[in-house]
Each structure stands twice: as C-alpha cells, then as structure tokens.
Amino acid sequence: MRSLFSPIPLFFVFLWSTGFIVARYGLPYAPPLTFLLLRFLGVLAILGPAVVLLRAPWPKGKVGHVAIAGLLLQAGYLSGVWCAIKLGMPAGLSALIVGMQPILTALAAPLIGERVRPRQWIGLAFGLGGVALVVYAKILVGLSWQAIALAVFALLSITAGTLYQKHFCPQFDLRTGTVIQFAASMAVVLPLAWALEDMGSVQWTPQFLGAWAWSVLALSIGAIFLLFKLIRRSDATQVTSLLYLTPPTTALMAWAMFGEVLNWMGIAGMALAVIGVLFVVKQSKQLKP
C-alpha cells in the first residue's frame, strides 16, 4: 500500500484532476476549440524540436493507428469535456462522467477478448446509478442536455481511443507518438474552430496565459509522461486505481476554487459511482493472470 500513497502517484492524481479545473478557469478568455488548438500548438512547439534533437524513433507501420488513437484520446475527448464545461457543466460532474471510462471499458471487454464477471456487472450498475443521480440533481438546477451529451461524447471517445490503442498500437515511443497524436488532433480541431468559433476573440490575460501554460506543460506533457513513467516502474495497477480518485479530487478543487457544491443527491451519486468503479477495478485485478 505504500506505493499507492507515495508522493509521485498522488502528484499524478493531482495533475490529472486539474485538467477539468483548468478548463473552467481558462474558458472565460477563449472559445473551447480555439483554446485546445492553442494547447496543441504549444505541445508541438515543445516536443517537435525535442524529437528532432533526440532522434526519437518513429512508429514504423503504425503512424496511422497512433494518429487515429490520438484523435479519439485528444481531439474527441478534450473537445467534449471543454465544450461541456463551456456550456455550464460543473468541473466535478464532468470528471465524474468521464471517470466512468473503466466501467464502459468493462462493458466492451468482450470486444478485446476479455470476460466480464457477474460481480463486475454489479459494479457497473452502481456506477451508472451514481452518475444518473448526480446528473439528475444537476438537471434540476438547469444543466442543459447539450452539455450532458458532450460529456458523454467525451467518455465514449476516450473509451474508444483506449481500446483502439490497446489493440492496434499498444507500444510506441512516447515522444514521437505524442507529436503524431497532437498533430492529427490539431488538423481536425483547426477547421472546426475556424467554422464554429470566433478565433480572434481570445483575451490574452494573465489568467488565460496561466491556464494555457498549465494545460500544455503540466497536463499534455507532464501528466502524460508521468503516467508512462509510473507504468514503466511496474506501478500500472496502482496508477489505474489512483485514476478513480480523480472525480472526488476534482469536486474538492471545484468547491474550493469556484464554489461548486453538490446537494445530498449529488453526494450520494458520487459515492455510488466511486464504489461502482472501484468494484469493477477490483474484480478486473482478480482476473489478471
């Protein structure tokens, strides 16, 4: 248990959770797709020269697969979350909905040759019930169905991207793979931002620059690289477990920074959702050879 609560994994949870907070903090100063476009450009500006200088290897015969996985994991997932938050979805709720990824992955397990045990279905029911409670509580106070649909789209996108990458390109150099994924994402987000948003409306305030810098350095580079470092240290199971601390951590941050408060129904729903996800994860661990 010591490794589970050591400083590095917990710092990773903190970084991952700030992704939802940064969206809420930075979006008053830029449209969501435009902000993401600038984020992708920042990552490429840093990693592109680094890849050339370090002569990092490119994934032979897998560039297309890496790019498709990147479109789902970066463009689809991030666009869904950021647009949902722009439409008024609380950061804590967006983290909770996307945090259902392992449950949805369990549901799709047969597609990648894995079995789902009856007790995992119980966890699935707990998780979905919890999310339903929280979403219902927010609908009562005026949350739009468009915001919910975008968050669900983000959930489906990151789940599909995870399954796709696991099946078609599970191994590639992180540096060049990240460049490919963000370049592909930028190619998709750019025309959408041009068509749907006023890209010239960015307010280059200190708040915006801080949110942008954090999203580039701490999230798109720092959190992802830290995740792979932990996995290489054989801490994959611990990291997987820690990821499920993201919704309550984000909810706590959102309460401290923005005053987001869950009523009793929302708190009960979040508790059910976390229990459900942990239940699925526990069963998944027991099924590993």
Calculate what percentage of the chain has a pLDDT beyond 70: 83
Angle between the N-to-C axes of helices 174-196 and 224-232, in degrees from 0 to 180, rounded to the nearest 10? 150
- 104 or 64, higher pLDDT: 64
**Sign of the four-CA dihedral 272, 1, 155, 22:** positive
- Considering only CA atoms, which of 25, 78, 75 is closest in space to residue 260? 25
Determine the pLDDT at residue 141: 66
Q: Using CA atoms in the order 69, 71, 73, 74, what is the torsion angle rounded to 10 degrees?
A: 140
Average confidence (pLDDT) over 235-255: 67
What is the C-alpha separation between 244 and 60, in angstroms, rounded? 34
Residue 114 pLDDT exceeds 70: no
Residue 287 pLDDT exceeds 50: no
Average confidence (pLDDT) over 67-73: 95
pLDDT tens by residue, 182-232? 999 999 999 999 999 999 999 999 999 999 999 999 999 998 778 766 655
Full-model pTM: 0.85
State which amino acid sits at residue 235.
D
Determine the pLDDT at residue 93: 84
Q: Is 1 helix (H, G, I), strand (E, B) or coil?
A: coil
- Considering only CA atoms, which of 242, 261, 241, 243 is closest in space to residue 251? 261
Determine the pLDDT at residue 2: 45
Q: How far apart are the first and last CA of the chain?
A: 21
Return the minimum-mean-pLDDT range out of 50-54, 56-60, 223-227: 223-227
Average confidence (pLDDT) over 169-175: 87
